[in-house]
Amino acid sequence: MNHPNTSPLALTTAEAARSLGIGKTKLFELIGSGALPAIRLGGRTLARHEDLEAFTAQLPRWKSGGPA
């Protein structure tokens, strides 16, 4: 059953790239380097919502004077 107020557990590569504001090529670079975990399901590569949140949480924060 699909509930309208629930987030998907995993996103397609296109959805994950869009949610991060990057291109699919950069997303696959992050997956290939191990920086961003991904799962395979039926031949599709998916990024789990919790992994995307954890990835962005560990990124350095940007300050007006430059990177943190």
The total domain count for the chain is: 1
Q: Residue 1: inside a domain, yes or no?
A: no
Burial readout 8-19 (b: 16 or more C-beta within 10 A, e: otherwise): eebbebeebbee
26: in domain: yes
Q: Give 67 or 63, the one with higher predicted confidence.
A: 63
Query: Could you list the residue range(s) of the whole structural domain that residue 25 is in?
Result: 10-58
Residue 27 lies in a domain: yes
CA nearest neighbour of 53 among 3, 11, 5, 24: 11
Question: Does residue 3 belong to any structural domain of this protein?
Answer: no
Question: Is residue 52 a part of any domain in this protein?
Answer: yes
CATH number at 27 reads 1.10.1660.10
Residue 35 lies in a domain: yes
- The pLDDT value given to residue 1: 53
Give me the residue label for tokens 């004077």.
Answer: 65
Q: Is the pLDDT of residue 5 over 80?
A: no
pLDDT for the residue 64: 76
46 part of a folded domain? yes
pLDDT of residue 62: 84
Chain segment 14-57, per-residue pLDDT in tens = 999 999 999 999 999 999 999 999 999 999 999 999 999 999 99
The pLDDT value recorded for residue 50 is 95
